Amino acid sequence: MNFNIPFMSYRRVATISSLLLLVLSVGSLSFKGLNLGLDFSGGTLIEVSYEQAADLAEIRDLVFTNGFDDFQVVNFGSNSDVLIKVADKNGNSQIGDVVFKFLQAADPAIELKRIEFVGPQIGTELRDQGGLGMLVALGMILLYVAFRFQYKFALGAVAALAHDVVIIFGLFSLFSWDFDLTVLAALLAVIGYSLNDTIVVSDRIRENFRGERGYEPEEIVNKSINQTLSRTLITSLTTLLVLLALFFFGGDMIRGFSQALIIGVLIGTYSSIYVVANMLLGLSITQDDLAIPEPEGAEFDDMP
Amino acid sequence: MNRFSPLTHAFIVLVLSIGILYSLPNLYPAKPAIQVAYTDSSKSADQRLLSDVEQILTSNSILVESVGLKENNIVAKFSSFDDQLAAKAALQKNLLDQAIVALNLEPSTPQWLRDIGGGPLKLGLDLSGGVHFLLEVDIENALDNRLESLLNEYRKKFRDDRIGVESSTKDDTVLTFAFVSDEDYNKAIRAFNEDNITAVGTSLYDLQLNSIRNIVSLKYSQSAIKEIRDYAVGQNLMTLRNRVNELGVSEPIVQRQGSSRIVVQLPGVQDTTAAKKIIGKTANLEFRLEAAPTASRLRKEEFSYQDERMGSAYLEKKIIVAGERVTNANSGFDESGFAQVNITLDMQGGRAMQKATNGNIGRRLGVLFVEQKNKSTLVIDDAGNEAIEQTSYIEKRIISLATVQAVLGTNFRITGVGSPQEASELALLLRAGALAAPMKFVEERTVGPSLGKENIQLGVRSIIMGLLSVIAFMFFYYRWFGLAANIALFANVVLITGFMSLLGATLTLPGIAGIVLTIGMAVDANVLIFSRIREELKEGKDPQTAIQEGFSRAFVTIVDANVTTLIASIVLYAIGTGPVKGFAITLSIGILTSMFTAILGTRAIVNLMYGNKNIKELRV
């Protein structure tokens, strides 16, 4: 496939829509916050399976009359599977057993699928560790890209990653999707994936800057994006294919995970085209920035 | 042109064979098996139990594939689940409380594969079903108790030695003694020094002296706190292992995590309430006075000795102190060289002991060991079938009954406990019965067996669907080159399975997601290479040069792109726990193997298809 799309002519449109998305995300995050899953909020979760469609209102009544007030009862997967989440600040680990006992007393045919209890301090720890991990990953990637390319590329790459991560956070906040540990794992995988794309585009920009003299930076960037476009689209497509397989066939326990990744792949593809290139042009990259070939590049050129 | 050297071919074949070899054990299905162990965890399975098991199986004409001793258990493998269940019923009926019979799955890996260290992938709890507990040892509490008993020890010592103390207080983690005169102050410092508590050079305490105001303050040093923490966690770990053994679970995990946490994983356990009760129980020691012969029946109870030859004795119904108050117990020797057991109680326990023994010198004090046990009985159920009914009951046996010589406090000793060997066993029982520091559940995850099976099915289905759709796309889009990439992709899945089995990594549901994601991303390297070859062709290069250039130019990009993803997955491994770690492991292994298969594997296939041939036209 040959592409010759004047991507860089739409720079302003892209910048404005990225900024709009970011503002919306940050706004939703600060006013609405994330709907933290059990891993981060702490509490107890009980999943039970009924033989026939479960009457949620009845179950709610039952939980309430047994003395709990801060809880949620929802269907999980099918209408005979029920998920009950009980919040408890004191970290009482007995709640799961207690709830299952009285549900079973009301309907002996139910089957226990899982109980999860996360104490309040573990929740806080996981939250801190997760946030820290995110920052460490971004920092290390920044260093690697700065070392392998040039600091303007590193800034571009990290801006693209931050862009993706903030928007995914924002969407999870906006739609109140459950944000748990697997979603965090998916976010880190998105960082890896989006970076993959970014590096491929950056690599081509670097190559073209070095190889072809006498062009405007904008022309070179545009050409590079077009050259890598078919690869960018195909890889996104194959990755999306497997993610859709996970989303539809992988079951409810990893639906949040595949959902975060699907959004991540879409946004990551967009950001590798626009955010990096935009940053590079914004930082006014010139041929001189890349004039001296780095020894690391040369080292690999003859292999394999 | 475009031929690999025989050495490169040999390398590819070598890596592939290792991958195939170690992924082979996963093709042998796990066989239903039964584990039999003595109920008494101090006894390991022997020939007698083995022949009992064999005899029970033959007399019930149950087909068994193999029976043998494995570690402390007897393991019997069966060819069908029906046989396994029939065998369990028969064994339980005949052995009843003598042995614990647990259902189990044993890998049927052939001997030659096991000899080279091969084995199937371990399944995480989310796939096998079971319980995961995370317990936190409350070190603060242990430190507090010890400091408080130290305070009382010195209060008593200063009183006995007639050292004038103006005030003695415990403030959070610091003990402060103020003395009446310089003389008292100096005497006290000598007393401390005699106990190896000095202002300089001591490793256990930090001592601060104020000679103007005659004040001595004392607190634990950092190294002492670490030592106490290690002792408490180690002690609790041992106690937990003993308790978990009572559950009769195959392959339980009881491990320390971080500085003060303990992970307990019990695969296949369904009754979490029972498991929690046994793991979380604390009071399994009781100190009671021997009942006076004239005491009414209402106030005394008869208990038998742990050592059955000694018969039984009457103890009072009133419990002075229970096991949770024991902070330490060890064996030693008394002045005349007889074995003794030194016991340390916490403050509250010491006070209760003091009150109870005051005025009762000369009477005997009994120590009861309390165990929760299960009793199985054969019953005929409503339908007229034989069934085994399990009832749990509490058994209390006397482990020591000794005369009280003086008023007891937080520290006392039991003498007349027999040989040094018996003394150390008693100390062990006392310690095992007690936790060095209280623990609380901070995390618990239970996965029912049906959900585990469901997760495996869903995981396998999504791997197959993902793999098929990518393979179809690659073939239709790239034709022959796509075929090469597909073969490499398939090799990649085999390599991931092989290396994960070899490393003994645990497969979890997010781990399966990691494999699926790797499948999607692995073709990226090939897509990069193929797009490059297309470009080279478009620039008018001949097919052979185009292949050569395509591979070598894409190489740098592929390395850069994968190293950065690897960084992200290593961070994920470092911060993640349980399932997320599983995802990070599969993702990292997947990145490495996919680089190998995409760069070397695909190249080898393309070389075999086109290398050294005169190609006029190349379609990519």
CA dist B452 and B512 (Å) reads: 13
Say if residue A69 is in the same domain as residue A137: no
**Residue A299 predicted with pLDDT over 50:** no
Say if residue B356 is in the same domain as residue B469: no
pLDDT digits (tens, 9 = 90+) for B352-402: 888 888 888 888 888 887 766 656 677 776 667 666 665 667 778 888 888
Rounded to 5°, angle at Cα B437 from B434 and B438: 90
Buried b (16+ CB within 10 A) or exposed e, B492-505: bbbbbbbbbbbeeb
Reduce the secondary structure of chain A to three states and give it as a string: CCCCCCHHHHHHHHHHHHHHHHHHHHHHHHHCCCEECHHHHCEEEEEEECCCCCCHHHHHHHHHHCCCCCEEEEEECEEEEEEEEECCCCCCCCHHHHHHHHHHHHCCCCEEEEEEEECHHHHHHHHHHHHHHHHHHHHHHHHHHHHHCCHHHHHHHHHHHHHHHHHHHHHHHHCCCEECHHHHHHHHHHHHHHHHHHHHHHHHHHHHHHHCCCCCHHHHHHHHHHHHHHHHHHHHHHHHHHHHHHHHHCCHHHHHHHHHHHHHHHHHHHHHHHHHHHHHHHCCCCHHHHCCCCHHHHHHHCCC
How many Cβ atoms sit within 10 Å of the Cβ of residue B162? 8
Lowest mean pLDDT among A100-109, B32-41, B422-431: B422-431
Final residue before a domain boundary, out of A118, A140, A171 = A118
Name the residue of chain A whose CA is nearest to B472's CA.
A238
Chain A residue numbers touching B509 (CB-CB < 8 A) = 251, 253-254
What is the distance in angstroms between the Cα of B580 and the nearest Cα belonging to chain A?
6
Task: Name which of B135, B442, B481, B533 to mutate to probe chain A: the one with the most chain A Cβ atoms within 10 A of its Cβ.
Answer: B442
CB proximity B572 to A under 8 Å: yes
Token output for B615: 């190609």
Per-residue pLDDT, B222: 82
Say if residue A25 is in the same domain as residue A169: yes
**Residue B277 predicted with pLDDT over 60:** yes
Query: B519, A242: Cβ pair inside 8 Å?
Result: yes
Per-residue pLDDT, B435: 65
Backbone angles phi, psi at B177, to 5 degrees: -115, 130
CB proximity B258 to A under 8 Å: no
Q: In this structure, is residue B237 part of a structural domain?
A: no
Q: How far is CA B137 from the centre of its chain?
A: 15
What is the distance in angstroms between the Cα of B601 and the nearest Cα belonging to chain A?
12
Query: B466, A254: Cβ pair inside 8 Å?
Result: no
Q: Determine the 3-state secondary structure of B47 from DSSP.
A: helix
Say which DSSP state B268 is in. Answer: T
**Residue A293 predicted with pLDDT over 60:** no
pLDDT digits (tens, 9 = 90+) for B498-531: 999 998 888 888 888 888 888 887 888 899 899 8
Average pLDDT score over residue span A288-304: 53
Q: For the domain that residue B86 is a member of, what is the CATH number?
A: 3.30.70.260
Q: Determine the 3-state secondary structure of A153 from DSSP.
A: helix
Say if residue B537 is in the same domain as residue B430: no
Radius of gyration of chain B (CA): 34
Say if residue A111 is in the same domain as residue A137: no
CA dist B66 and B450 (Å) reads: 28
Chain A residue numbers touching B262 (CB-CB < 8 A) = none
> To which residue do tokens 């490169």 refer?
B8
Say which DSSP state B290 is in. Answer: B
Amino acid at A195: L
CA dist B403 and B109 (Å) reads: 59
Query: B465, A196: Cβ pair inside 8 Å?
Result: no
Q: In this structure, is residue B120 part of a structural domain?
A: no
CB proximity B517 to A under 8 Å: yes
Chain B residue numbers touching A203 (CB-CB < 8 A) = 556-557, 560
CA dist A124 and B79 (Å) reads: 48
**Residue B471 predicted with pLDDT over 90:** yes
CB-based contact B566:B514 (threshold 8 Å): no
CB-based contact B441:B137 (threshold 8 Å): no
Say if residue B171 is in the same domain as residue B182: yes
For A39, half-sphere exposure in the C-beta direction (CA atoms, 13 angstrom radius) is 19
Residue-number span of the structural domain to which B573 is assigned? 6-25+448-610
Query: B552, A301: Cβ pair inside 8 Å?
Result: yes
Name the residue of chain A whose CA is nearest to B603's CA.
A304
CA dist B174 and B179 (Å) reads: 16
Q: In this structure, is residue A2 part of a structural domain?
A: no
β strands within B71-173, DSSP E: 73-77, 99-106, 122-123, 130-137, 165-171
Per-residue pLDDT, B326: 78
Task: Name which of B575, B588, B600, B607 to mutate to probe chain A: the one with the most chain A Cβ atoms within 10 A of its Cβ.
Answer: B575
> How much of chain A, in percent, has pLDDT values that exceed 70?
94
Task: Name which of B443, B456, B586 to mutate to probe chain A: the one with the most chain A Cβ atoms within 10 A of its Cβ.
Answer: B443
Rounded to 5°, angle at Cα B59 from B56 and B65: 70
pLDDT digits (tens, 9 = 90+) for B119-140: 888 888 888 888 888 888 878 7
Sequence-distant (≥ 6) Cβ neighbours of residue A257 within 8 angstroms:
A182, A183, A185, A186, A246, B510, B513
User: Residue A302: pLDDT band by 50, 70, 90 thresholds?
Assistant: very low
Average pLDDT score over residue span A184-198: 83
Domain count, chain B: 4
Final residue before a domain boundary, out of B221, B240, B259 = B221
Instruction: Report the mean per-residue pLDDT for chain A.
Output: 85
Say if residue B403 is in the same domain as residue B536: no
What is the distance in angstroms between the Cα of B505 and the nearest Cα belonging to chain A?
18
User: Residue A23: pLDDT band by 50, 70, 90 thresholds?
Assistant: very high
End-to-end Cα spacing for chain B: 18
Chain A residue numbers touching B512 (CB-CB < 8 A) = 250
What is the distance in angstroms between the Cα of B447 and the nearest Cα belonging to chain A?
4
pLDDT digits (tens, 9 = 90+) for B333-353: 888 888 888 888 877 788 888
Sequence-distant (≥ 6) Cβ neighbours of residue B326 within 8 angstroms:
B285, B343, B344, B345, B349, B430, B431, B433, B434
Per-residue pLDDT, B11: 92
Per-residue pLDDT, B592: 92
End-to-end Cα spacing for chain A: 27
Per-residue pLDDT, A5: 84
Q: For the domain that residue A73 is a member of, what is the CATH number?
A: 3.30.70.3400
| Helical ranges in B165-221 per DSSP H | 182-194
Average pLDDT score over residue span B432-441: 69
Backbone angles phi, psi at B481, to 5 degrees: -65, -35
Final residue before a domain boundary, out of A118, A137, A158 = A118
Backbone angles phi, psi at B375, to 5 degrees: -120, 130
> To which residue do tokens 């029906």 refer?
B82
Alpha-carbon distances of B454 from A47, A146, A251, B271, B465, rounded to whole Å:
14, 45, 8, 19, 16
DSSP string, B469-490: HHHHHHHHHHTHHHHHHHHHHH
Q: What is the ipTM of this complex?
A: 0.84
CA dist B118 and B100 (Å) reads: 29
Sequence-distant (≥ 6) Cβ neighbours of residue B162 within 8 angstroms:
none
Q: How many residues does chain B have?
A: 620
Per-residue pLDDT, A303: 43
Strand partners, B321: B287
**Residue A296 predicted with pLDDT over 60:** no
Q: Determine the 3-state secondary structure of B412 from DSSP.
A: strand
Q: Determine the 3-state secondary structure of B116 from DSSP.
A: coil
Q: In this structure, is residue A233 part of a structural domain?
A: yes
Domain count, chain A: 2
- Residue B620's nearest CA partner among A244, A234, A57, A61 is A234
Q: In this structure, is residue A294 part of a structural domain?
A: yes
Q: For the domain that residue B307 is a member of, what is the CATH number?
A: 3.30.1360.200
Rounded to 5°, angle at Cα B303 from B298 and B304: 160
Sequence-distant (≥ 6) Cβ neighbours of residue B186 within 8 angstroms:
none
- Residue B288's nearest CA partner among B267, B250, B248, B316 is B316
Q: How far is CA A69 from the centre of its chain?
A: 33
User: Residue A264: pLDDT band by 50, 70, 90 thresholds?
Assistant: very high
> How much of chain A, in percent, has pLDDT values that exceed 90?
23
Final residue before a domain boundary, out of B205, B221, B237 = B221
Amino acid at B57: L
Final residue before a domain boundary, out of A95, A118, A141 = A118
Q: Are strands A35-36 and A178-179 parallel, antiparallel or unpaired?
A: parallel
Say if residue A76 is in the same domain as residue A154: no
Say if residue A94 is in the same domain as residue A196: no
Q: Determine the 3-state secondary structure of B539 from DSSP.
A: coil
Q: For the domain that residue B551 is a member of, what is the CATH number?
A: 1.20.1640.10
CA dist B514 and B117 (Å) reads: 25
Alpha-carbon distances of A223 from A210, B551, B596, rounded to whole Å:
13, 21, 30
Task: Name which of B535, B580, B592 to mutate to probe chain A: the one with the most chain A Cβ atoms within 10 A of its Cβ.
Answer: B580
Per-residue pLDDT, B83: 86
Q: Which is more confidently placed, B382 or A239?
A: A239
Say if residue A162 is in the same domain as residue A225: yes
Q: Determine the 3-state secondary structure of B288 from DSSP.
A: strand
Count CB pairs under 8 A between chains A and B. 233
**Residue A300 predicted with pLDDT over 50:** no
Q: In this structure, is residue A29 part of a structural domain?
A: yes
Residue-number span of the structural domain to which A76 is assigned? 43-118
Say if residue B47 is in the same domain as residue B193: no
Q: In this structure, is residue B230 part of a structural domain?
A: no
CA dist B361 and B403 (Å) reads: 8
What is the distance in angstroms between the Cα of A228 and the nearest Cα belonging to chain B?
8
Say if residue A158 is in the same domain as residue A297: yes
Per-residue pLDDT, B284: 65
Say if residue B152 is in the same domain as residue B85: no
Average pLDDT score over residue span B246-256: 76
User: Residue B469: pLDDT band by 50, 70, 90 thresholds?
Assistant: very high
Say if residue A193 is in the same domain as residue A252: yes
Alpha-carbon distances of A248 from B141, B220, B605, rounded to whole Å:
50, 58, 34
Q: In this structure, is residue B123 part of a structural domain?
A: no
H or E element, residue B17: helix B6-23
For B61, half-sphere exposure in the C-beta direction (CA atoms, 13 angstrom radius) is 0
Say if residue A173 is in the same domain as residue A259: yes
Number of H helices, E strands in chain A: 10, 6
CA dist B238 and B384 (Å) reads: 44
Q: Determine the 3-state secondary structure of B210 from DSSP.
A: strand
Chain A residue numbers touching B528 (CB-CB < 8 A) = 200, 231
Q: In this structure, is residue B393 part of a structural domain?
A: yes
Q: Which of B247-261, B376-390, B588-602 has the highest mean pLDDT?
A: B588-602
Q: In this structure, is residue A241 part of a structural domain?
A: yes
Strand partners, B257: B261
Q: Which residue of B474, B521, B576 is in closest CB contact with A239?
A: B521
**Residue A27 predicted with pLDDT over 90:** yes
Say if residue B430 is in the same domain as residue B480: no
User: Residue A298: pLDDT band by 50, 70, 90 thresholds?
Assistant: very low
Say if residue B468 is in the same domain as residue B433: no
Q: Which residue of A137, A227, A258 is in closest CB contact with B567?
A: A137
Say if residue A261 is in the same domain as residue A180: yes
Say if residue A31 is in the same domain as residue A49: no
CB-based contact B242:B41 (threshold 8 Å): yes
Say if residue B57 is in the same domain as residue B74: yes
Say if residue B441 is in the same domain as residue B453: no
pLDDT digits (tens, 9 = 90+) for B22-57: 999 988 877 888 888 776 656 677 888 888 888 888
CB-based contact B398:B303 (threshold 8 Å): yes
Sequence-distant (≥ 6) Cβ neighbours of residue B248 within 8 angstroms:
B35, B37, B100, B101, B102
What is the distance in angstroms between the Cα of A49 and the nearest Cα belonging to chain B?
10
Say if residue A262 is in the same domain as residue A165: yes
Say if residue B59 is in the same domain as residue B44: yes
**Residue A167 predicted with pLDDT over 90:** yes
- Residue B270's nearest CA partner among B391, B451, B97 is B451
Final residue before a domain boundary, out of B221, B238, B265 = B221
> How much of chain B, in percent, has pLDDT values that exceed 70?
89
Query: B444, A96: Cβ pair inside 8 Å?
Result: yes
Q: In this structure, is residue A1 part of a structural domain?
A: no
Per-residue pLDDT, B21: 92
CB proximity B537 to A under 8 Å: no
CA dist B620 and B608 (Å) reads: 16
Q: Determine the 3-state secondary structure of A3 from DSSP.
A: coil
Q: In this structure, is residue B273 part of a structural domain?
A: no
Q: For the domain that residue B158 is a member of, what is the CATH number?
A: 3.30.1360
Q: In this structure, is residue B48 part of a structural domain?
A: yes
Say if residue B12 is in the same domain as residue B62: no
Q: In this structure, is residue B485 part of a structural domain?
A: yes
> How much of chain B, in percent, has pLDDT values that exceed 90?
9
Q: Which is more confidently placed, B565 or B416?
A: B565
Query: B458, A240: Cβ pair inside 8 Å?
Result: no
